[in-house]
């Protein structure tokens, strides 16, 4: 099959979250399974020679190669993409995001023809590439080159929909007839994700639990009705984890490598992390790690509420993340009061992330909702026991055997579960066993890629 993956971020070229991990890893697994894959993404400022080997396709388009022979095509536009960030800056989302990503989507379709890649499937991700299925079935519907192309939309997070004012609609180049309840209109605004959900042939989300949850009011963010109409075409496939990147056995970012067969050296990474974070070098104190966007979705509301009580326990906590200013301020305040308990790093730092996954004892991820979540899978591989709220992908991957899980979203329940984990940590034999079970969990991409291929086959028959 010929598969074109269109995504707004792809590891190793650009990343703000899990979408980039998926868009960068799934193609490898598809290629290994014998599929013909290309990727199309915007060319951001960070994508430059000599860091990446880049060749020209034409003025405005270039490519690099990853895997055995996966071409990653970059759509260029100085004004739209040559910026420091992907979607916004300290003032919020870039005001021209609708124009930026409609340009990306149309140019991606044009590029397929220019390079003569007659895709069986175009696999789009989140709202930023949702206009691809919309254009394919409207503006491009009579073009023979595109006739047999089918689309799969993966929703990584339904909370981000690409909402714009009605006045921007004409910039999409679509007929006003599409601006209604059956189309892209959403309470008087333009909703790009909704367009993708209506026009793509198959929809999936990144865990089975989340695919059920978003059909309900609580997690559907207003789109549950649209999904209800498409429920026969809606599936859930758990993301895999790229174990070539996340492997304690040959991780270059950590002090000591270790494996599930011999995890004894993990404690050296703990000491290294404590030293780096200027925390007391205490082996017997449980070290909690957080690597996360600092947003309510990630449980920062209940965590903030519980913070005082947590800091009064005999623990240490390393936090790496960026996000809402509100949480930056709350956490900075806590560090001032408890400098020997919390080490706070308000930035995006891949190296430190690896050190935290390897050096912590327990990984805190109390997300309010979590489409799939990678942090819990990564930490499992590093023998760092996840403590999570029972939702979405967290519920599909963590249970009493490999972690700690609570099922009422409240700070009290979070605190109680933390206490439970501390108690378990003190029982050396039990803890050793828990680490062993956690490290053996396997969420590799090959199983998920097989399921994606089945979805592509379904879409082809549409």
Q: Does 195 bind ligand ADP (CB under 6 A)?
A: no
Q: Give yes or no for residue 14 binding ligand ADP (CB under 6 A).
A: no
Closest approach of ligand ADP to the CB of residue 153, in Å: 17
Least distance in Å: CB of 59 to ligand ADP? 34
Residue 77 vs 322, nearer CB to ligand ADP: 322
- With tokens 């388009």, the residue in question is 61
Q: Of 62-70, 276-284, 344-352, 395-403, which segment contacts ligand ADP by CB under 6 A?
A: 344-352
Looking at the Cβ atoms of 103 and 288, the one nearer to ligand ADP is: 288
Q: Which of 184, 198, 209, 291 binds ligand ADP (CB under 6 A)?
A: 291
Token pair belonging to 231: 């429920």
Contact map string, positions 373 to 402, toward ligand ADP, x by CB under 6 A? xxx---------------------------
Q: Say if CB 411 and CB 302 are below 8 A apart.
A: yes
Beta carbons within 8 Å of 208's beta carbon, 6+ residues apart: 236, 237, 238, 396
Q: Does 303 bind ligand ADP (CB under 6 A)?
A: no
Binding of ligand ADP by 276 (CB under 6 A) = no
Least gap, CB of 8 to ligand ADP (angstroms): 12
Which one of 4, 5, 21, 107 is in contact with ligand ADP (CB under 6 A)? Answer: 21
Q: State which residue, 183 or 392, has the beta carbon closest to ligand ADP.
A: 392
Binds ligand ADP (CB under 6 A): choice among 1, 2, 17, 224 = 17
Contacts (CB under 6 A) with ligand ADP, residues 149-168: 157
Regarding 350 and contact with ligand ADP (CB under 6 A), the answer is yes
Q: Which of residues 88-147 bind ligand ADP (CB under 6 A)?
A: none
Report if residue 321 touches ligand ADP, rule: CB under 6 A. yes
Number of residues that bind ligand ADP (CB under 6 A): 18
Q: Which stretch binds ligand ADP (CB under 6 A): 31-39, 51-59, 114-122, 345-353?
A: 345-353
If the CB atoms of residues 150 and 354 are measured against ligand ADP, the closer one turns out to be 354
172 token code pair: 């999409």
Interior/surface letters 23-62, b for 16+ CB within 10 angstroms, e for the rest = bbbbbbbbbeeebebbbbbbbbeebeeeebebeebeeebb
- One residue of 98, 108, 234, 320 binding ligand ADP per CB under 6 A: 320
Per CB under 6 A, the list member of 221, 348, 409, 431 interacting with ligand ADP is 348
For residue 12, cis peptide bond before it (omega within 30 degrees of 0): yes
Backbone phi, psi, residue 319, to 5°: -120, 125
When the beta carbons of 271 and 322 are compared against ligand ADP, the nearer one is 322
Residue 460 to residue 449: CA distance in whole angstroms = 16
**Piece of 101-109, 167-175, 214-222, 371-379 that binds ligand ADP (CB under 6 A):** 371-379
Q: Which of 139, 322, 416, 451 touches ligand ADP (CB under 6 A)?
A: 322
Q: At its nearest, how many Å lie between ligand ADP and the CB of residue 77?
A: 25
Please report, as ranges, the residues that interact with ligand ADP according to CB under 6 A: 17-18, 21, 157, 291-293, 320-322, 348-350, 353, 372-375
């Amino acid at each position: 099959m010929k598969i074109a993956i269109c995504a707004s971020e792809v590891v190793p070229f650009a990343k703000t979250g899990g979408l980039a991990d998926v868009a960068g890893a799934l193609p490898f697994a598809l290629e290994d399974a014998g599929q013909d894959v290309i990727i199309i993404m915007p060319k951001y400022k960070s994508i430059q020679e000599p860091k990446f080997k880049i060749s020209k396709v034409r003025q405005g388009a270039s490519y690099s190669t990853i895997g055995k022979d996966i071409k990653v095509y970059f759509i260029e536009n100085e004004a739209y993409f040559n910026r420091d960030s992907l979607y916004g800056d300290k003032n919020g989302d870039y005001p021209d995001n609708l124009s930026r990503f409609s340009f990306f989507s149309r140019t991606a379709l044009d590029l397929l023809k220019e390079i003569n890649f007659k895709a069986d499937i175009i696999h789009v991700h989140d709202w930023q590439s949702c206009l691809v299925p919309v254009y394919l079935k409207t503006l491009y519907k009579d073009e023979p080159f595109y006739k047999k192309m089918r689309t799969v939309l993966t929703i990584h997070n339904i909370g981000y929909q690409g909402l714009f004012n009605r006045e921007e609609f004409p910039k999409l180049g679509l007929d006003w007839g599409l601006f209604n309840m059956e189309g892209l209109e959403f309470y008087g605004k333009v909703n790009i994700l909704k367009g993708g959900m209506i026009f793509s042939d198959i929809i999936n989300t990144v865990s089975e639990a989340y695919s059920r949850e978003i059909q309900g009011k609580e997690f559907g963010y207003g789109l549950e009705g649209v999904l209800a109409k498409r429920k026969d075409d809606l599936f859930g496939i758990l993301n895999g984890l790229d174990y070539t990147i996340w492997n304690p056995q040959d991780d270059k970012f950590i002090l000591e490598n270790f494996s599930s067969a011999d995890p004894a050296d993990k404690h050296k990474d703990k000491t290294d992390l404590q030293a780096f974070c200027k925390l007391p070098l205490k082996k017997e104190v449980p070290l909690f790690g957080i690597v996360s966007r600092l947003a309510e979705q990630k449980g920062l509301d209940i965590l903030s509420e519980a913070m005082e009580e947590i800091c009064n326990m005999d623990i240490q906590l390393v936090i790496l993340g960026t996000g809402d200013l509100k949480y930056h301020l709350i956490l900075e305040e806590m560090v001032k009061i408890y400098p020997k308990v919390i080490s706070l790093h308000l930035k995006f730092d891949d190296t430190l992330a690896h050190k935290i996954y390897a050096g912590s004892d327990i990984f805190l991820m109390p997300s309010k909702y979590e489409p799939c979540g990678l942090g819990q899978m990564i930490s499992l591989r590093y023998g760092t026991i996840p403590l999570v709220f029972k939702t979405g992908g967290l519920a599909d991957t963590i249970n009493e055997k490999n972690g700690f899980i609570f099922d009422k979203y409240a700070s009290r329940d979070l605190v109680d579960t933390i206490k439970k984990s501390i108690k378990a940590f003190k029982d050396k034999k039990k803890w050793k066993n828990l680490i062993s079970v956690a490290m053996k969990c396997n969420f590799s991409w090959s199983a998920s890629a097989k399921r994606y291929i089945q979805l592509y086959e379904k879409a082809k028959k549409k």
